[in-house]
Structure 1
Amino acid sequence: MMQHVPEAATGKSVAVPEFSWQAHSVLVVDDEEGMRSFLERALRPRCGLVESAPDVEHAMRLMARLHFDLLILHIALPGKSGLDWLHELREDGFTGDVILITAFADLDTAINALRGGASDFILKPFRVDQILNSIKNCFQRAHLARENFVLRRQLAGLSVDIDGLVGASSCMDQLRGVLRRVAQTPSTVLLLGESGTGKEVAARALHRMSPRAQRPFVPLNCAAIAADLIESELFGHVKGAFTGATDSRNGLFYYAHGGTLFLDEVSELPLPQQSRLLRVLEERRLRPVGSEREIPVDVRIVAASNRDLAAEVAAGRFRQDLYFRLAVMEIVIPPLRERAEDIPELVRHFMNLLTVQLGMAPLALSHGLLAQLASYTWPGNVRELRNFIERSLILGGFPVDALSARGDMLNAALAMPLEEVEKRHILRMLEACGGNKSEAARRLGVSRKTLERKCAEWSETGA
């Protein structure tokens, strides 16, 4: 059974699958061997991992090695009581569900348990269907929290066209064919291409055509996260792992479980985090920052870069072993200038999409205008074309004169070395932004780290 959530960008719906029991793990903590055996028999055919322990000490040792989504915890345990341990778990940042069970309880105990962070409170003896319903409710809440996180991320990125790859040119037909074939495999994919060519669109298309289509697609721009936070963003962290870590937090690998994690601008990952990523890809397990526990992960990685990763490897800025691990399938997204015949279709596509988003009437499209747009080289690729259509709708007309002026500048620049053209363009943007490197990097469509590296290179050479 599927839930369907409306998607604001297109008016279509996104299918959100119900949870899978097999995706969850349970730890039973009870001093009665018969109860442990009863719960293990009931849960092992359903859940991905079921372990049991007779007391808190044994349970803590299991939790140091394994990740559990749910604890079924008896209150009256030898040594430390289940209720006391529940309070400690919550103080230490454990975010999983906890079902408390007991043979003797009064109203005060139940209230104390729920205030302490218990997800449910069940009296012994109980029926199998009673405990299974309680567990199912916990799993469904966790599943919905995960899906809501993914949907919020998708809604935050509505500027990205998720309708699919637009264009009937031969290179786009070839690209769709390659993506369709690769989608059916579990292999990692590396998408290469200039900024603005639509690498994330290709990644989403690959996900939609894959067996993981009904699971989450979680994107991350590696250049947009500070170097000291990227590890926590990817793998999560436990409470107290670093200054400011006041609570435990799941990473994006957790939210992408069963689906696809898209790592855009993967070349911007610092070398230490490249090493951590490589280990996760090879072992299919991760360890949150500050934790001793390893968590199994089932995630397909699709990475993207607008830089030559082989050159980055040669320069010592990217690990060779990670490059080979990511580039199992390497796919190049063509620039817009190599598929100019697709421009009229793209113009109409963005016109239809943006008039809905902006609530504006469409502009008239003549053959002469489409021919003029098709003759422009679009150095910013599809992203620049989309921005041009959006700006035209806001202005109420197409500022084609501005395109002509920019085209003249490009023609004049052909006589210059590429490095000089790049330098002049960056310096002009820095000047336009009053020296604000973050804003200049945003307008240029690169990371601040990339911009600072370019400026440092010019400073070292005296250029």
Structure 2
Amino acid sequence: MNDRATILIADDEHSMRDACFQVLGPEGYIVKEVESGDAALAAIRHEAFDLVLLDLKMPPVDGMEILRHIQQESPGTATVVITGYPTVESAVEAMKLGAADFLPKPFTPDVLRLTVRRALNGARMARENLLLRSQLEERRACDGELVGQSQAMQQIGDLVRRVGPTDSTVLIMGESGTGKELVARAIRDHSPRRNKPFITVDCGSLVGTLFESELFGHAKGSFTGATSTKHGRFELANGGTIFFDEIANVSPDIQVKLLRVVQEREFTRVGATQVIPVDVRILAATSRNLPDEIREGRFREDLFYRLCVVPILLPPLRQRREDIPLLATYFLQKHRNRGTGNIRGFTDEALAALVRHEWPGNVRELENAIERAIVLARGDLITRADLLYYGPLMKPETPPDDLLPLAAIEKQHVARVLRHHAGNRSAAARTLGIDRKTLWRKIHEYGLAHEGAGANRP
């Protein structure tokens, strides 16, 4: 099958053009002929060809010049150079200019058929790869889009666009589910490394030697089970970007070795002595407060400053409620094909319920709720009833303590304070702003004698 590929034969010898036509015509190709360089250029400008059989020596325009024109004006066209004066130099130059193959004269019909078929297949694969890359970029732009109209998200988007083209190390901070990896990928997508590897390291999934081996690789025999040399994440990310998710989980001994890589851009495999240089951009994220971790001695201060060249703080979803309708619509478009009907949007009541919710799981929790509602929705609009299948949204619209007696509210609060202070009456009384005698009375009145682990402590 050639799908009626169109081939242009450009050769000043009539016998060569006729011979090629006699071979390729019966194969089902649409074959056209020209006898000069000028005519070849005119034909290429006028019509799109799948393949050009191009003679190098064809006055008045040199074949190399025509080849340059094809690559500039019609890069999807495959070119096979044919010549009666083959040299290594001309073959190398033709290949550098984009020729798919180099065919010395004379050649047999079978060689011509095979060469044409191979060149057309190569061009088809190149077009398909180009299309796939284009689709991937479009999908990446869609999936990696920082959705939000709030001032906070606009500022973050601007910062991503400014820091993306640099090689600066970035520390992304925010609660779980706020989209830290999404921001990391957006930074990569705005960088010259966008088409190079993006390697994610989950810092909470491995510990000790296994984590060190995962990062830096290991030499054969370096530990029990190391039956072969292994490339680590840094080597896999070479030329691209490495993203450390939940960097605060890295143990102190690994932090020391990670600091060296951040500073020197070089490392050594476990059990080896050879120093391996690495060209990689480093991004990191955490949901913890790293200054607190530093004060508690769990995170190195020098590593923190190396990572936090550019800090990005992601606000929780509850602090940017104006983005919730936009995010809900985005997730509806992303997941709508998972439902049984054609869901167009949300009712006003459903959107209001989404905006009111606190979203402790942030954007990840919102996406989960929307996907569930799409599957369970009965009509073409997601209603509040559809969202009620999601437990947290089943809460009544009134505040939790609404309509409760004052005594019940007070009992709940006293019990909570006692639990907080592990039953220490003196500390609880200070927090409540009452004396110990009053607290004892309330404990007896509300039956809270056993609240807190140390209920009998003073």
- Superposition TM-score, scaled by structure 2 size: 0.54
Q: Deviations over 1:8-49 (max 9, x none)?
A: xxxxxxxxxxxxxxxxxxxxxxxxxxxxxxxxxxxxxxxxxx
Q: Which residue of 1 aligns with 2:151?
A: 170
Distance 1:382 1:459, change over 3 A: farther
Q: Distance in 2 between matches of 1:178 and 1:210?
A: 13
Corresponding residue to 1:269 among 245, 250, 263? 250
How far did residue 165 of structure 1 move? Answer: 0.9
Corresponding residue to 1:183 among 154, 164, 167? 164
Q: Which residue of 1 aligns with 2:30?
A: none
Q: Which residue of 2 aligns with 1:121?
A: none
Corresponding residue to 1:297 among 261, 278, 282? 278
Three-state SS of the structure 2 residue aligned to 1:258 is coil
State which drifts further: 193-202 or 176-185: 176-185
Q: Which residue of 2 aligns with 1:399?
A: 387
Corresponding residue to 1:331 among 312, 333, 341? 312
How far did residue 396 of structure 1 move? Answer: 3.3
What is the aligned-residue RMSD (CA, Å)?
A: 3.7
Three-state SS of the structure 2 residue aligned to 1:276 is helix
8 Å Cα contact 1:220-1:264 kept in structure 2:
yes
- Structure 1 gaps of 5+ residues are 1-126, 134-154, 424-457
How far did residue 408 of structure 1 move? Answer: 7.7
Q: Deviations over 1:129-184 (max 9, x none)?
A: 99xx9xxxxxxxxxxxxxxxxxxxxx9xx9xx933211111111111011111112
Q: Which residue of 1 aligns with 2:45?
A: none
Q: Distance in 1 between matches of 2:178 and 2:453?
A: 30
Distance 1:373 1:330, change over 3 A: same
Question: Within 5 Å, which residues of 2 pair with 1:235-274?
Answer: 235-274=216-255
Distance 1:277 1:377, change over 3 A: same
Q: Deviations over 1:50-80 (max 9, x none)?
A: xxxxxxxxxxxxxxxxxxxxxxxxxxxxxxx
Q: Distance in 2 between matches of 1:201 and 1:215?
A: 17
Corresponding residue to 1:307 among 266, 276, 288? 288
Look up the equivalent residue of 1:317 and give its one-letter code: R
Q: Which residue of 1 aligns with 2:364?
A: 383
Q: Which residue of 1 aligns with 2:331?
A: 350
Distance 1:233 1:360, change over 3 A: farther
Q: Distance in 2 between matches of 1:260 and 1:417?
A: 47
8 Å Cα contact 2:144-2:185 kept in structure 1:
no
Three-state SS of the structure 2 residue aligned to 1:257 is coil
Q: Distance in 2 between matches of 1:207 and 1:251?
A: 20
Q: Which residue of 2 aligns with 1:366?
A: 347
Q: Distance in 2 between matches of 1:285 and 1:350?
A: 41
Look up the equivalent residue of 1:403 and give its one-letter code: P
Is 1:193 the counterpart of 2:182? The answer is: no
Distance 1:179 1:331, change over 3 A: same
Q: Which has the higher contact order (CA 8 A, sep 6+)?
A: 1
8 Å Cα contact 1:377-1:407 kept in structure 2:
no
Three-state SS of the structure 1 residue aligned to 2:346 is coil
Q: Which residue of 1 aligns with 2:264?
A: 283
How far did residue 197 of structure 1 move? Answer: 0.3
Q: Distance in 2 between matches of 1:389 and 1:215?
A: 33
How far did residue 407 of structure 1 move? Answer: 7.5
Q: Which residue of 1 aligns with 2:425?
A: none
Q: Distance in 2 between matches of 1:166 and 1:418?
A: 40
Q: Which residue of 2 aligns with 1:37?
A: none
8 Å Cα contact 1:162-1:204 kept in structure 2:
no
How far did residue 226 of structure 1 move? Answer: 3.2
How far did residue 411 of structure 1 move? Answer: 5.1
Distance 1:232 1:359, change over 3 A: farther
Q: Distance in 1 between matches of 2:205 and 2:418?
A: 25
- Structure 2 gaps of 5+ residues are 1-87, 96-135, 379-385, 402-408, 423-451
Q: Distance in 2 between matches of 1:355 and 1:219?
A: 28
How far did residue 331 of structure 1 move? Answer: 0.9
Q: Distance in 2 between matches of 1:310 and 1:342?
A: 29
Which one has a bigger Cα radius of gyration? 2
Aligned length: 274
Q: Which residue of 2 aligns with 1:52?
A: none
Is 1:213 the counterpart of 2:162? The answer is: no
Look up the equivalent residue of 2:165 and give its one-letter code: Q
Q: Distance in 2 between matches of 1:420 and 1:353?
A: 44
Q: Distance in 2 between matches of 1:419 and 1:258?
A: 56
Look up the equivalent residue of 2:392 and give its one-letter code: L
Question: Any runs of at least 4 consecutive aligned residues in structure 1 with deviations exceeding 4 A, and if so which?
Answer: 127-130, 405-421
How far did residue 406 of structure 1 move? Answer: 5.1
Three-state SS of the structure 2 residue aligned to 1:250 is coil
